[in-house]
Amino acid sequence: MSEISITAASAEDAGVVHALVLALARYEKLEHEVTATVDDIRSLLLGPRPLAEAIIAWHQGNPVGLAVFFHNISTFAGKPGLFLEDLFVQPEHRRKGIGRALFQHVAQLAKSRGCRRLEWIVLDWNQPALDFYDGIGARVRDGWMVLRLE
């Protein structure tokens, strides 16, 4: 889609990133779990010591998609990796190549940074996302489970 531009989020984009995170949470039926504020987003992604990065997809000057990612490592390979925390495109802008463009942008960053892998988690009920990832050749890792301690 030629009218799409992808930019690294800047401190001035904290409100845009926050709004897209809220839209993602609504889509995933998890809005009740969002406690992050615009200031939290600014600090996490855009502050003096960012813990993650964000890129925004723009269409005709409007933010329509988001990818948030951070580095992890493989001690087995002795190489860095990237973990894709969020990939989201506003529902009315889907099936236009925006998600693929965001994903390719992150994958290219991983490659240029010498990363061994790009990993992410997807909700098991999110069939459109599963179909999208299947279409780009991603596979579920058998034998691995996501664990969390809060």
DSSP-assigned letter for residue 96: S
Tokens of 87: 């990939």
> What angle separates helix 14-27 from helix 38-46, to the nearest 10 degrees?
110
pLDDT of residue 2: 59
CB 21 within 8 A of CB 66: yes
Does residue 34 belong to any structural domain of this protein?
A: yes
CB 61 within 8 A of CB 70: no
Each residue's pLDDT tens digit, 13-67: 999 999 999 999 999 999 999 999 999 999 998 888 899 999 999 999 999 999 9
150 vs 39, more confident: 39
Our CA angle for 41, 81, 84, nearest 5°, is 40
80: containing domain? 4-122
Residue 27 a catalytic site member: no
Does residue 137 belong to any structural domain of this protein?
A: no
Each residue's pLDDT tens digit, 75-92: 999 999 999 999 999 999
Does residue 147 belong to any structural domain of this protein?
A: no
Does residue 139 belong to any structural domain of this protein?
A: no
pLDDT of residue 37: 97
Does residue 21 belong to any structural domain of this protein?
A: yes
CB 118 within 8 A of CB 107: yes
Q: Which residues of 89-118 are buried (b: 16+ CB within 10 A; e: fewer)?
A: bbeebeebebbebbbebbeebbeeeebeeb
CB 18 within 8 A of CB 36: yes
pLDDT of residue 147: 84
pLDDT of residue 41: 95
Which listed residue (69, 88, 103, 133) is catalytic?
133
SS3 146: coil
Each residue's pLDDT tens digit, 94-146: 999 999 999 999 999 999 999 999 999 998 898 989 999 999 999 888 888 88
Question: For the whole model, what pTM was predicted?
Answer: 0.92
CA 55 to CA 110: how far, in whole Å? 14
Number of domains in the chain: 1
Q: Is the pLDDT of residue 6 over 70?
A: yes
pLDDT of residue 134: 92
> Hey, what amino acid is at 123?
L
CATH number for the domain spanning 34: value is 3.40.630.30
CA 105 to CA 7: how far, in whole Å? 10
Q: Which helix (H) or strand (E) holds 74?
A: strand 62-74
Q: Is the pLDDT of residue 1 over 60?
A: no
